[in-house]
Structure formats: structure tokens, C-alpha cells
């Protein structure tokens, strides 16, 4: 399924936001450092290592890397060949769903006494793998993307937070203290991302000091509040671009960016290509996969 969707060397984005596939036919070291959001990487074939901050983690087929927080990454594909290319799924874990699930599981999950490790490698849970086998075809049709896919993404997050990987994502005791306030801030960002927002306004809305709010938001959601705001704007811009009919400058204005140049720079950093080029590439990839 992944081989059929990874239609070219390197990264292939799914039309589902935050879901992408990787194919490499030869060993490769990335030339640039990427900034990755909280997410999960499931390797199906081949082997890779990633330098994440001061640590280097290796993972191979039928293992997963859980990224517990936004982090800078230098990756190396160690084992790949034309006959058996490196194949992997990478899915961002939406902070709003993470926080929602923390709250839902707070009373059912015992507080972790282990040290929280922000990044974690383990054999992929069979139930998580099963969920991905259902998620991929559920992203092919618009009706399935609107109804089935969101439920499967939530299932994957629940599975992760009920597994040993939970300690890589957050400490349960800290979540019980802070998740409700941060959930409110997340909702405010999602509702008002089109207008200017700053730390002081968001902190005031949840009755926290700006410094404590910024620290707590990152602790709970896995990334800084202004980074979440930026990503929310970029995700909305991506939807508008893929719908067609709007120029990048118009999309920038509709999604809260102060200039088209700023929008283009941030979009390229997140998605690997300028807005118009990205939209063409994804349209071409979708046509090839049909």
C-alpha cells in the first residue's frame, strides 16, 4: 500500500494533512536539518537512523519512532536498494487531538513515574499497524476523508497513549494539571487564527502568565504556541491551495499571514516546496495513484 502511494523518490505527501510516505532506493544522508512536529514514523522496509538533538536513534522494518515534541532532525537512510527500497509512513500527531485524548484518558491512566523521553523507538504495535492499514485507503475518497479517516487517526493516538510509547509523549500527572487550560488555548487558536494573536492574549484567556503559559503549552502540546498558530495557518492555506482557484498571495491574506513572502517562506519550510508548486505536485501525485 505504501509502495503504491510513494510514487517518487523521497517524500510523497498524502492529501490527508500531516500524513506522508517515504521511498528511498539507495542509502542517503539528508543534506539539511528538518524540524519535525510531534508524530509517529512506521518503517515497513529498510533501515534508518535519526539524530534528534544530542541522541541518535536507529529504527528498521516493523518498528516505529515516536516523536514526543517538536524537534530538529538529521536523518540517514542506512539500508535501501532498488529492489527493496526504504518505505515508511510518517504521520504528525495533531496537538488538539493529543490534548483531547490526554483529558479523556487522564482518570483511566496511572501517572507515569518514569522519566519522560521525548523520542522513542519500539516495535510497532499490531493494533497501530492495523489502524494504518485502514487509514491509508480511507484517505483516497473525499467522503471517507470526511468521515472515516478522522476516527482512525484518533484511534492511532489513543493506542499510542495507552502503550509504552505514552511516556515518550507526555507525563500523565503533568497532563492532568494543565491539559484543560491548554485545550482551551488550542481551541482559541483554531477559531481565530486568521487574525493577529500573541502570547499575552492567549495566556490571558486561560488565566496564566505569558511565560508560564508558553512553557506549559509546549509541555502539553509538544510545540510552542506560536508554532502551533503558524502550523494551523499553514494547514488552512494548504486546504485552500488544493481546492484551486486562488493565488498564493490571496491564500496568505485569508489565513492570517502578514505578507505573501512570509507565507511562501514558511510554507516551503513546512512542505518542502513553494505553495503553487506544491499544489501542482500533489495534484500530479494524486492523478498517478488513481
Q: What is the pLDDT of residue 52?
A: 85
Higher pLDDT, 167 or 79: 79
Q: What is the pLDDT of residue 270?
A: 92
Quick: pLDDT tens for 90-145: 999 998 998 888 888 776 654 444 444 567 888 899 999 999 999 999 999 999 99
- Whether 191 maps to a domain, the answer reads no
Nearest-angstrom CA–CA distance, 238 and 236: 5
Q: What is the pLDDT of residue 166?
A: 62
Residue matched to cell numbers 500531516: 18
* Average pLDDT of span 145-162: 93
Q: Which three cell numbers stand for residue 113?
A: 513515574
Q: What is the pLDDT of residue 58?
A: 92
- Whether 128 maps to a domain, the answer reads no
Residue 165 pLDDT level (bands cut at 50, 70, 90): low
Q: What is the pLDDT of residue 119?
A: 77
Q: What is the pLDDT of residue 167?
A: 60
Which of 76, 92, 108 is where one domain is finished? 92
Residue 11 pLDDT level (bands cut at 50, 70, 90): very high
Which of 92, 123, 155 is where one domain is finished? 92
Nearest-angstrom CA–CA distance, 176 and 172: 6
Q: What is the pLDDT of residue 287?
A: 63
- Whether 152 maps to a domain, the answer reads no
Q: What is the pLDDT of residue 162?
A: 82
Q: What is the pLDDT of residue 83?
A: 94
Quick: pLDDT tens for 25-59: 999 987 667 788 889 999 999 999 998 877 889 99
* Average pLDDT of span 197-217: 95
* Average pLDDT of span 266-274: 92
Quick: pLDDT tens for 216-228: 998 888 899 999 9
Indicate the pTM of the whole model: 0.86
Higher pLDDT, 30 or 265: 265
pLDDT over 80 at 245, yes or no: yes
- For the domain that residue 270 is a member of, what is the CATH number? 1.10.10.60
Residue matched to cell numbers 484511534: 155
Percent with pLDDT over 90 in the chain:
63
* Burial class, 33, CB count within 10 angstroms (exposed 0-12 / middle 13-18 / buried 19+): exposed
Q: What angle do CA 253, 239, 9 make, to 5 degrees?
A: 120
Number of domains in the chain: 2
* Average pLDDT of span 265-273: 92
- Whether 130 maps to a domain, the answer reads no
- Whether 36 maps to a domain, the answer reads yes
- For the domain that residue 70 is a member of, what is the CATH number? 2.60.120.10
CA atoms within 13 A on the CB side of 31: 1
- Whether 64 maps to a domain, the answer reads yes
Q: Average per-residue pLDDT in the chain?
A: 88
- Whether 18 maps to a domain, the answer reads yes
- Whether 121 maps to a domain, the answer reads no
Domain around 234? 229-289
From the CA atom positions of the chain, what is the Rg in Å? 19
* Nearby residues of 216 by Cβ (< 8 Å), 6 or more positions away: 178, 181, 182, 208
DSSP string, 233-284: HHHHHHHHHHH-S--HHHHHHHTT-S-HHHHHHHHHHHHSS-HHHHHHHHHH
Of 32-46, 126-140, 239-253, 256-270, minimum mean pLDDT range:
32-46
Which of 92, 110, 137 is where one domain is finished? 92
Amino acid at each position: 500500500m505504501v509502495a503504491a502511494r510513494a510514487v517518487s523518490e523521497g517524500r510523497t505527501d498524502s492529501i490527508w494533512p500531516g500524513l506522508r510516505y517515504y521511498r528511498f532506493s539507495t542509502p542517503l544522508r539528508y543534506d539539511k536539518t528538518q524540524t519535525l512536529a510531534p508524530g509517529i514514523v512506521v518503517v515497513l522496509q529498510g533501515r534508518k537512523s535519526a539524530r534528534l538533538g544530542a541522541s541518535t536513534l536507529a529504527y528498521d522494518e516493523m518498528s516505529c519512532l515516536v516523536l514526543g515534541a517538536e524537534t530538529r532532525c538529521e536523518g540517514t537512510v542506512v539500508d535501501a536498494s532498488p529492489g527493496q527500497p526504504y518505505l515508511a509512513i510518517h504521520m504528525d500527531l495533531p496537538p488538539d487531538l493529543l490534548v483531547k485524548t490526554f483529558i479523556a484518558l487522564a482518570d483511566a491512566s496511572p501517572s507515569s513515574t518514569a522519566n519522560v523521553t521525548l523520542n522513542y523507538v519500539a516495535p510497532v504495535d499490531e493494533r497501530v499497524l492495523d489502524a494504518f492499514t485502514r487509514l491509508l485507503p480511507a484517505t483516497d475518497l473525499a467522503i471517507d476523508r470526511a468521515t472515516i479517516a478522522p476516527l482512525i487517526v484518533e484511534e492511532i493516538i489513543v493506542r499510542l497513549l495507552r502503550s509504552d510509547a505514552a511516556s515518550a509523549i507526555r507525563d500523565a500527572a503533568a497532563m492532568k494539571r494543565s491539559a484543560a487550560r491548554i485545550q482551551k488555548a488550542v481551541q482559541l487558536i483554531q477559531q481565530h487564527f486568521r487574525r493577529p494573536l500573541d502570547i499575552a492574549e492567549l495566556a490571558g484567556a486561560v488565566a496564566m502568565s505569558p511565560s508560564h503559559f508558553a512553557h506549559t503549552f509546549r509541555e502539553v502540546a509538544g510545540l510552542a504556541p506560536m508554532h502551533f498558530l503558524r502550523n494551523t495557518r499553514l494547514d488552512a492555506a494548504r486546504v485552500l491551495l488544493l481546492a484551486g482557484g486562488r493565488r498564493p498571495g490571496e491564500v496568505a491574506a485569508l489565513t492570517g499571514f502578514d505578507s505573501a513572502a512570509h507565507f511562501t517562506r514558511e510554507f516551503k519550510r513546512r512542505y518542502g516546496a513553494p505553495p503553487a508548486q506544491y499544489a501542482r505536485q500533489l495534484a500530479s501525485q494524486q492523478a498517478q495513484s488513481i
